[in-house]
């Protein structure tokens, strides 16, 4: 009985970990007017938001909650996708300066190797 329960729990945790989607790219700090973001002002949470490429926003639409990590995966912040980044290649992304500061890069204009996951 115990081995069956252990197996079930192990498989559940494995599928949970396998379902995570991780994107890595350069995080660029930007500061658009809230009234001009793609998803509107109601999308933004207390810590800010990120902007992703059109291809990514097609897959992960407005309001999708993501965790943004520093390159070493030691500090993170949870924010929604709220804007489209017209200059982002592949999995590069932009965030308001508060998000950049919360992952430990206060005042940085860009953070190569940053991650965002769903």
Residue 83 Cα distances to 5, 44, 46, 95, 104, angstroms: 43, 10, 16, 9, 22
The answer to whether 76 touches 117, Cβ cutoff 8 Å, is no
- CATH number assigned to the domain comprising residue 41: 2.40.40.10
- What are the pLDDT digits (tens) for 59-116? 999 999 999 999 999 999 999 999 999 999 999 999 999 999 999 999 999 999 999 9
Please give the model's pTM, rounded to 2 decimal places: 0.80
Name beta bridge partners: 93. 27, 52
Q: Residue 11 domain-assigned?
A: no
2, part of any domain:
no
- The reply to whether 7 falls in a domain is no
Q: Which two tokens stand for residue 35?
A: 């009234």
CA 95 to CA 29: how far, in whole Å?
5
Is 83 within the bounds of a domain? yes
Q: Does any domain span residue 28?
A: yes
12 in a domain, yes or no? Answer: no
CA-CA distance, 108 to 81, in Å (whole number)? 20
What is the domain range of residue 53?
22-117
pLDDT digit string (tens) for 49-66? 999 999 999 999 999 999
Split into its structural domains, the chain has a count of 1
Residue 15 falls inside a structural domain = no
């Amino acid at each position: 009985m115990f081995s069956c329960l252990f197996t079930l729990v192990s498989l559940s945790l494995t599928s949970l970990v396998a379902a995570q989607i991780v994107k890595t790219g350069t995080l660029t700090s930007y500061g658009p007017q809230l009234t001009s973001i793609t998803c509107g002002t109601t999308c933004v949470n207390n810590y800010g938001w990120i902007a992703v490429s059109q291809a990514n926003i097609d897959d992960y639409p407005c309001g999708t909650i993501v965790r943004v990590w520093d390159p070493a995966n030691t500090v993170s912040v949870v924010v929604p996708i709220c804007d489209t980044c017209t200059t982002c290649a592949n999995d590069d992304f932009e965030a308001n300066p508060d998000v950049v500061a919360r992952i430990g890069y206060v005042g940085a204009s860009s953070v190569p190797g940053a991650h965002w996951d769903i």
